[in-house]
Amino acid sequence: MLTISSVKQLEAFKKQRALVTWFLDSGYTTKNIELVLGAKRGFDRHVGSAWHMLIPYKGGGYAIDLPLSKDGYGIDLSRHVIDQQGIGSGELPIILFENYEGEDDYFYVSLAGLSEDETIALIGSMADIVVDHYRDGRSDPQEYRSDITEAIKRHRRIKSGIRFVKQHTSTAVGALAGLFM
């Protein structure tokens, strides 16, 4: 997991061979934020550099081996992406898959209504897919991300939480360019 506080940081991941997602929540409560941030060490050890789950965060970015605080969660950046993508509050929290190419529908996995154990198990299931593809998958970053997202979409355990947002909507890269650079 990496923190992100500006679009300039997001663009740096485009050429990396890694799945790039956002963890987005409304911040009405901090329960889910605390849960995901608390899983950072295990998540980072599990996926290594195969998956960058970006956490909107106040202040600088790229916190790698530091504990993250729920108070530092970047509600403004998160809310802007949620609104831009048209994601309803009842779907939150979500993991939004970044689509740098803009050719396909964007999709996210909703974590709404899941228990803590179910949330961690779902993230772990996705992490297993990502790690397998990282080890044996294609070397081109976009093809690698495409293969992983297709595998995640097909996974029966994850399938029920997948939702799609408008095709060809601006990604966070475009949507936030003017506001958070």
Average pLDDT of each block of 10 consecutive residues along the chain (181 residues)? 80 89 92 92 95 86 59 87 90 88 74 93 94 93 90 73 52 40 36
Write phi, then psi, for 81 (nearest 5 degrees).
Answer: -65, -45
Element (H, E) at 5: none
Position 169 scores a pLDDT of 44
Which whole-number Å values give the CA distances from 23 to 73, 100, 137, 152, in the listed order? 10, 17, 24, 16
Q: Is residue 3 left, alpha or beta, with left meaning phi > 0 and alpha meaning psi from -120 to 50?
A: beta
pTM above 0.75, yes or no: yes
Position 165 scores a pLDDT of 63
Nearest Cα to 48, choosing from 115, 88, 99, 1? 1
Which whole-number Å values give the CA distances from 165 to 25, 59, 64, in the listed order? 16, 28, 30
**In contact, 55 and 21? CB cutoff 8 Å:** no
Position 181 scores a pLDDT of 36
Position 70 scores a pLDDT of 74
* Intra-chain end-to-end CA distance of the chain, in Å: 21
User: In angstroms, rounded to a whole number, what is the distance separating the alpha carbons of residues 147 and 175?
Assistant: 25
